[in-house]
Amino acid sequence: MTKVVPVLTVIVALVLIWYAAAVGMNAQWARDQAARAETTLGFGELVVDTWSQDRPVLPAPHQVAQGLYDSVLAIKPTSKRSLVYHGWITLSATLAGFGIGTLAGIALAVGIVHSRAMDMSVMPWAIASQTIPILAIAPMIIVVLNSIGISGLLPKAIISAYLSFFPVVVGMVKGLRAPDAMQLDQMRTWSATNSQTFWRLRLPSSMPYLFASLKVAIAAALVGTIVAELPAGATRGLGARLLSGSYYGQTVQIWSALFAAAALAAALVVIVGLIERGVLKRMGMAQ
Amino acid sequence: MKTPVINAKGVCLTFETNDGPVQALKDVDLGIERGEFVSFIGPSGCGKTTFLRCIAGLEVPTGGTLTVNGLTPDEARKARSYGYVFQAAGLYPWRTIAGNIKLPLEIMGYSKADQEKRVEKVLGLVELDSFGKKFPWQLSGGMQQRASIARALAFDADILLMDEPFGALDEIVRDHLNEQLLALWARTQKTIGFVTHSIPEAVYLSTKIVVMSPRPGRIAEVIESTLPRERPLDIRESPEFIALAHRVREGLREGHDA
Amino acid sequence: MSLLKLLVVLAVWGGLWALNARLAARGHHIRAIRLAVPVIFGLTLVLLWEMVVRLFGVSSVILPAPSAIAQRFAAETPTLWIDFVQTMLKGALSGYVLGCGAAFVTAVLIDRSPFLQAGLLPVGNFVAALPIVGIAPILVMWFGFDWHSKAAVVVVMVFFPVLVNTVAGLQATTAMQRDLMHTYAASYWQGLVKLRLPAAMPFVFNGLKIATTLALIGAIVAEFFGSPTRGMGFRISTEVGRLGLDMVWAEITVAAIAGSVFYGAVSLIEKGVTFWHPSQRG
Ligand SMILES: Nc1ncnc2c1ncn2[C@@H]1O[C@H](COP(=O)(O)OP(=O)(O)O)[C@@H](O)[C@H]1O
Ligand SMILES: [Mg+2]
């Protein structure tokens, strides 16, 4: 609880800076308008104007809040202008991709831990792939899959799956190898089989590592979906909202979509974190 | 004449390391009879752990012969002939104490009812009766180590191998556990191989003290204890005890000079 | 007929995999074999890719063959170089240096204030998990189409991971080490320079390594929101539109090489700076 005050202070400071920046960045337009109308603006008028423009360079916090309210609460969730609608499109592809990527990642990690050939062949590539901006291939995958008649959720899910796959592989291999030599020797003194060692020692030991990488993976999956919604033609999803906002200079729309994406990311990471807490607690690993 | 439970003849072991070969054991000859309590003592790096691991089939000697219950160590391991206690308790944090003790029983395929019975019995042996439902991290270090001994006792192995099981504990807890271990040994009639680097501990516990010396690891001297089997803690002030401790210390010194 | 082709592909795969399995089983402690196995695996994938494309006549607008990509790469080297300079050197690298530098300085500045740390760290952790690339359209509006806006995106993307890691690193000394500094009556700055900054380096480099990939992603994706007629992101999105997939793959190859080299360079510097850390002694 001692953290609440500093965190709130920092947040309030950020909001104040934001308001000040809105004045600075929108002032030019306000002055131009005034000059065109051949009037001059007092400081008070200038501030009020910069915080209430239609297409500000930087919308003020309350304008973004208003934009969020309009597109989340004040509108039917099925409407094409509702962020709930677009958020759901993005969320469903993210979850589908995350699920596929996680399962595939765990499966590959199990293979790597049990087969030296797979370990030596695949692991260097899995690690190297983390240094590559994989996201760059998103537009290509979308277009290619579209051209062979696959569209909608699946192409986006494939990209999120791909992005969540590698963190899970790397984390899970680490986790399955977490038991130390003594614990493995202990299993050998009991003549445990490979599968007994796996289910009773390796898998439980890997849980903290798995969850750490799941948090990275779900954030990556969301970014993947959003970027996959960028290629021209996409009209649904938070990424498409960002893009159309930037086409038409609708800054409030961009910021609203951005905050919706941020809230979604935060919610997903928090949910994974809660599941982690629950699982580790039940396993007696969280003290 | 029957052969000893553990019988080593000319056991050698050389590790191939990046800095060249390391001879960890050289020509180790040793027989351990049923029901004996044998301590291995020596400076660190003299191969105590390595020899115990050879008996357990965790390392394979590069020379000589070694039998356990008349079998090769590996066959003995597969026949589940011994329990092994490591220096750290190594309990799984995600299992309760009872769950930890059950672990080898599950692996060896004991029935559920049998598991419960055995857990109860060994918890009694190490005086942890009411702690079965606790998690390891809710227990003190000494209690954790007792739980790990209980885990090694839970199945029907008549050999108990212990590698510095009390090395990380303080003197007072250690004394207490030594006393309990003797009582347990008297009750269960097991054959015990026990690694330590404490002279009083070795003398207090053992019927036979194996003094080892380093580079290459070998047996410097085997001392048969003259103490009675019944040993109260204050036996350690007796002249007999002190004389034995002195002999061990001499043995260690000679091994070191050699 | 296609069944036969499939069998050929599977046979090649099986054969090369068997080779790898044998190498791995026999010679896993030999250095050359440790290097050869992943290389053989990679080459196997490329070979299979080439075979599948040729044998089954896969259209180049779906999946161009590696050989076609290599040809395009060779033919278009000048364009690729221009794009590389625009996106990697101007956008990503300048943003990376600025963003990491700013984050490092911020971390050292707030290090003296437990209050600021307590406030900024949770916020920083939170922001580090957000889809920050989404800020790209805004920054493109503010800073224009050229590389400045890409560098700005990169600054924002790399800032928080580096900040959070550096702050965590500055707290990574043990009580005993700090007490020792205390017994020397070391000043705050002496303690910082002699003890806490060196101890923080493994953490700082962890952040810097995460940031390399983020920098490339930021610079490329930001170009999807507007760019001059050069740059890797620009080329990818326009060539995708024209179905010039071989060119897209050539750009992706450049991105992959650049990413690995960038990461490798930071790792090398790390090796030099944190040679004392257990993770480097292997
Ligand atoms: N796995 C191993 N690889 C290489 N050398 C080892 C290994 N295990 C032990 N050694 C070496 O063998 C010698 C004996 O070690 P150990 O049996 O652990 O000694 P002790 O238990 O008496 O302290 C030491 O010199 C040690 O460095
Ligand atoms: Mg030892």
Helix (H) or strand (E) holding B66: strand B63-68
Is residue A77 in a domain? no
* Residue C51 reports pLDDT greater than 80: yes
Say if ligand 1 is within 6 A of residue B49 CB. Answer: yes
Å from C28 to nearest chain A CA? 8
Q: How far apart are CA B235 and CA B161, in angstroms?
A: 25
> Atom of ligand 1 at shortest distance to CA of B47?
17
Mean predicted lDDT score pLDDT of chain C: 86
The answer on pLDDT for B104 being more than 70 is yes
How confident is residue C176, by pLDDT bands cut at 50, 70 and 90?
A: low
* Residues of B within an 8 Å Cβ radius of A: 53, 56-58, 77-78, 80, 82-84, 86, 88, 90, 92-96, 103-104, 106-108, 135, 137
Put simply, whether A285 touches B (Cβ < 8 Å) is yes
Together in a domain, A40 and A174: no
Q: Are residues A188 and A140 in the same domain?
A: yes
d(CA C156, CA C151): 9
* Predicted confidence (pLDDT) per residue in B153-192, tens digit: 888 788 999 998 888 778 887 888 888 888 888 888 889 9
Higher pLDDT, A57 or A103: A103
C134 to chain A: closest CA residue? A258
Is any ligand 1 atom within 6 A of the Cβ of residue B50?
Answer: yes
Mean pLDDT of B59-88: 86
Confidence class of residue C180 from pLDDT cuts 50, 70 and 90? Answer: low
Task: List, for residues C91-123, the tens digit of each pLDDT value.
Answer: 999 999 999 999 999 998 888 888 888 888 888
Q: Which residues constitute the domain of residue A117?
A: 83-282
CATH superfamily of B6-81+158-257: P-loop containing nucleotide triphosphate hydrolases (3.40.50.300)
CA A174 – CA B117 distance, rounded (Å): 37
A206-253 residue pLDDT tens: 998 999 899 989 988 998 898 888 775 677 888 888 888 878 878 888
- C-alpha span between B166 and B178 (Å, rounded): 9
Domain ranges of chain B: 6-81+158-257, 89-156
Query: Is the pLDDT reported for residue B1 higher than 50?
Result: no
* Burial of residue C281 (number of CB atoms within 10 Å: 0-12, 13-18, 19+): exposed
Q: What is the pLDDT, as a whole number, of residue A109?
A: 93
pLDDT in tens, C184-211: 667 787 778 777 888 888 889 989 988 9
Q: Indicate which atom in ligand 1 lies nearest the CA of residue B164.
A: 21
Q: Which of B12, B25, B49 to mutate to test ligand 1, by most ligand atoms within 8 A of the CB atom?
A: B49
The pLDDT score that the predictor gives to residue B125 is 80
CB A93 within 8 A of CB A228: yes
Give whole-number Cα distances, B199 to A188, B46, B203, B233, B247, in Å: 30, 15, 6, 15, 10
Of residues C241 and B25, more confidence is placed in B25
Q: How confident is the model at residue A201 (pLDDT cuts 50, 70, 90)?
A: very high
Give the pLDDT confidence of A158-188 residue by residue, as tens digits.
989 988 998 899 889 989 988 888 889 889 9
At A168, list the tokens: 């899970």
d(CA C126, CA A260): 14
Q: If you measure CA to CA, which chain C residue comes closest to A1?
A: C118
CB contact under 8 A, A133 and C255: yes
Chain centre to alpha carbon of residue A231: 18
Residue A79 has pLDDT above 80, yes or no: no
* Rounded percentage of chain A residues whose pLDDT exceeds 90: 22
CA end-to-end span of chain A: 19
Q: Is residue A72 part of a domain?
A: no
User: What angle do the packed helices A251-282 and A238-247 form, to 10 degrees?
Assistant: 160
Any atom of ligand 1 within 6 Å of the Cβ of B92: no
Task: Note whether A92 and A230 are same-domain residues.
Answer: yes
Is A7's CB within 8 Å of C212's CB? Answer: no
Residue A1 has what pLDDT? 56
What mean pLDDT, rounded, does chain B reach?
Answer: 87
CA distance A39 to chain C (A): 27
Residues A154, A200 within the same domain: yes
* Residue A51 sits in the same domain as residue A142: no
State the DSSP H helix or E strand holding residue B85, giving kind and residue range, or none if neither. strand B82-85
Q: To which H or E segment does residue A142 belong?
A: helix A138-147
ipTM score of complex: 0.80
- Whole-angstrom Cα Rg for chain A: 25
Q: Which two tokens stand for residue C62?
A: 């779906």
Which ligand 1 atom is at minimum distance from the Cα of B50?
A: 17
Does residue B17 have its Cβ closer than 6 Å to ligand 1? yes
Phi and psi torsions of C82, nearest 5°: -60, -45
Ligand 1 pocket test target in B18, B39, B50 with most atoms within 8 Å of CB: B50
**Could you tell me if A25 and A95 lie in one domain?**
no
β pairing state of B37-41 and B208-213:
parallel
Number of domains in chain A: 2
d(CA A62, CA A66): 6
Q: Is A247 on the interface with B (CB under 8 A)?
A: no
On the question of pLDDT at A49 being above 60, the answer is yes
Asked whether residue A176 falls in the same domain as residue A269, the answer is: yes
pLDDT category at A58 given cuts 50, 70, 90 is confident
What pLDDT score does C95 carry?
A: 95
The rounded distance, in Å, linking the Cα atoms of C70 and C57 is 18
Identify which of C20, C221, C263 has the shortest CB distance to residue A121: C20
Is A71 inside a domain boundary?
no
Distances (CA, A) of B200 to B174, B205, B236, C224: 11, 8, 8, 76
Query: B216 preceded by cis ω (within 30°)?
Result: yes
Check residue A222 and give its pLDDT.
92
- For residue A115, pLDDT over 90 is answered with no
Tell me, what DSSP letter sits at residue B71? B
Residue C129 has pLDDT above 80, yes or no: no
Residues of A in contact with B94 (CB under 8 A): 204, 207, 283-285
Q: Give nearest CA residue, ligand 1 atom 24.
A: B45
Interface test with A, best of C44, C83, C133, C268 (most A CBs within 10 A): C133
Please report which ligand is nearest the Cα atom of B165.
2
Mean pLDDT of the residues in chain A: 86
Could you tell me the pLDDT band of residue B119, with boundaries at 50, 70 and 90?
very high
Query: What's the rounded Cα separation, in Å, for the pair C282 and C273?
Result: 15
Q: Are residues A100 and A44 in the same domain?
A: no
- Kindly give the distance from the C-alpha atom of residue B85 to the centroid of ligand 2, in angstroms, as a whole number: 12
Model confidence at B2, pLDDT cuts 50, 70, 90, reads low
Q: What is the pLDDT of residue C183?
A: 65
Looking at the structure, do residues A54 and A97 belong to the same domain, yes or no? no
The answer to whether A139 contacts C216, with C-beta atoms less than 8 Å apart, is: no
Between C89 and C179, residue with greater pLDDT: C89
Taking residues A52-75, report their average pLDDT: 83
pTM metric for this prediction: 0.79
A94: nearest Cα among A162, A160, A163: A160
For ligand 1, atom 4, the nearest C-alpha belongs to B15
- CA–CA min distance C184, chain A (Å): 32
- Please indicate, yes or no, whether residues A255 and A121 belong to a single structural domain of this protein: yes
Q: Please say if the pLDDT value at position A263 is more than 50.
A: yes
Within this chain, do residues A154 and A257 fall inside the same structural domain, yes or no? yes
